[in-house]
Amino acid sequence: MSPPTDFQALTPESVRAVLRTRKLGQTLHILEETPSTNTAALALAQKGAEDGTVVVAERQTAGRGRLGRRWFSPPGENLYCSVILRPTPAPDRIAEWLSWAPLLSAVATARAVQAVSGLHPLLKWPNDILVGHRKLGGVLCESNGSHAHGTFVVVGIGLNVNTKRENFPDDLREIATSLAAEAGHSFDRAALLAALLAELEATAESLLMGKPTTFVHVYTALCSTVGRRVRVNLAGGESVEGWADSIGMDGSLRIKKDGANTETMLEVRAGDVIHLR
């Protein structure tokens, strides 16, 4: 597959011209092709790359999604970006930071999309970015675990920017979308990347300063899962149906299972949610 004809390459110059962050993206690796920007960023982080280092690729040959899925990554059309964060919360708040980072990264992505395009994406728990019922983007966070010192997290963000509806593969055409497909025109990926990094920087700072009650509030305001009937395919293969009631203090999805006592909530920390009508 070759890049589109109206393709404008992402270059360090085009990104720096619009980048307004203090830290995120100040060290920026733009790769022509890589298996996965997350894999590349994890390797850099292991070797000591600094907080805020960003890896972007024009194309991924083995882009990874959540739950072992692949991520559609054609050349020159979209954003495939991984950010190394080295959080410094108090040791007793590292677990909280790690549990909220993926959810609030999705909030940052939705805000950046809104700022650049005027669209109003919503979130399907935990971190799918949707326009209507179609998926515009997703977040895959990977970390080296919760160490008192030296924790790092790679926030991997995939955003469908300029892929035309007809160019999505058959299995994605009905369930995925792009900014161009929604707005009817193409978008400048450098401007979008700069907006994304600015929102993510603000989010990473709020994660150090804020409280879980604030995170719950901020996330719930953008989450289209809460207040719906859902089916959740849990990690062990079990599947449950019920009412998505609320977000827990650790970012879990609290579900009132069909037939369960009104007081009993199932707290889901990992799984695949399907919105039911």
Cis peptide leading into 169, omega within 30 of 0?
A: no
Rule CB under 6 A: is residue 38 a binding residue for ligand BTN? yes
Q: What amino acid occupies position 240?
A: V
Identify which of 204, 205, 184, 191 has the alpha carbon closest to the alpha carbon of residue 159.
191
Q: Measured from the CB of residue 159, what is the shortest distance to ligand BTN in angstroms?
A: 8
Strands 134-143 and 54-57: unpaired
Interaction of residue 36 with ligand BTN, rule CB under 6 A: yes
Residue (82 or 151) nearer to ligand BTN, CB: 82
Which residue stretch of 58-66, 188-196, 225-233, 262-270 sits at the interface with ligand BTN (rule: CB under 6 A)? 58-66
Whether residue 136 contacts residue 112, with contact meaning beta carbons closer than 8 Å, is answered with no
Binding residue (CB under 6 A) for ligand BTN from 4, 65, 210, 212: 65
Sign of the torsion formed by the C-alpha atoms of 208, 210, 213 and 214: negative
Out of 64, 111, 134, 189, the residue judged to bind ligand BTN by CB under 6 A: 64
63 near ligand BTN, judged by CB under 6 A: yes
| Residue in the block written with tokens 């593969």 | 169
Structure tokens at 94: 């590292």
Residues 104-163 that bind ligand BTN (CB under 6 A): 128, 138-140, 156-158
Interface residues toward ligand BTN, by CB under 6 A: 36-38, 60, 63-66, 69, 71, 80-82, 128, 138-140, 156-158
